[in-house]
Amino acid sequence: MRARTIAGVLLASVLLAGCTNNDLFGLAGNTAESANSGGIDQSALPNYEQDSPEYFAYQVGDRVFFLVDQSTITEEASATLRQQAEWLNANSDYTITVEGHADEQGTREYNLALGARRAAAVKDFLVGVGIATHRISTVTYGKERPVAACSDESCWSQNRRSVTLINSELTG
């Protein structure tokens, strides 16, 4: 009986080792790490024009993730945000909205404030690397718009994020 239990645990471990949380929720390719390491099959993506919002979302990376109860930009987030700034500098006719999100832990009010701090941190970073402040707006959703719905770390870590959305071209 013990041998069967061990075999079952080993089998489950092997199966889970081939998956990542990003893959489970269809988010592979949305971070600098997976975009740079070939986390997604590039041939499976449509051939987006480099100046399109779709290219920004799928090739540059439209989201960054945060640690629990934090709004500090991590090293991985910094790499993604630098890529975003590069794209935004090359496509200066676009404005963006930075959404701040939180996981389900904590009160609604607390998570709205945390989401606002996360969006502000991203805006501050982008302004600090040369993006004009008038091109960036922020909004917080707190825990109201999760991308992953379950009550454990595998989901919470996906919901602690900011998402940079390309709005439209500036009008002259």
**What are the tens digits of pLDDT across the range 57-67?**
999 999 999 99
Q: Hey, how many other C-beta atoms are within 10 angstroms of the C-beta on 95?
A: 18
Cα three-residue angle 8-12-16, rounded to 5 degrees: 175
The architecture that CATH gives domain 20-169 is 2-Layer Sandwich (3.30)
What's the pLDDT band for 151 if we cut at 50, 70, 90? confident
**pTM (predicted TM-score):** 0.73
Q: What is the mean pLDDT of residues 19-35?
A: 39
For the chain, domain boundaries? 20-169
Residue 36 identity (one-letter amino acid): N
pLDDT digits (tens, 9 = 90+) for 154-169: 899 999 999 999 997 7
Contact, 145 vs 32, CB < 8 A?
A: no
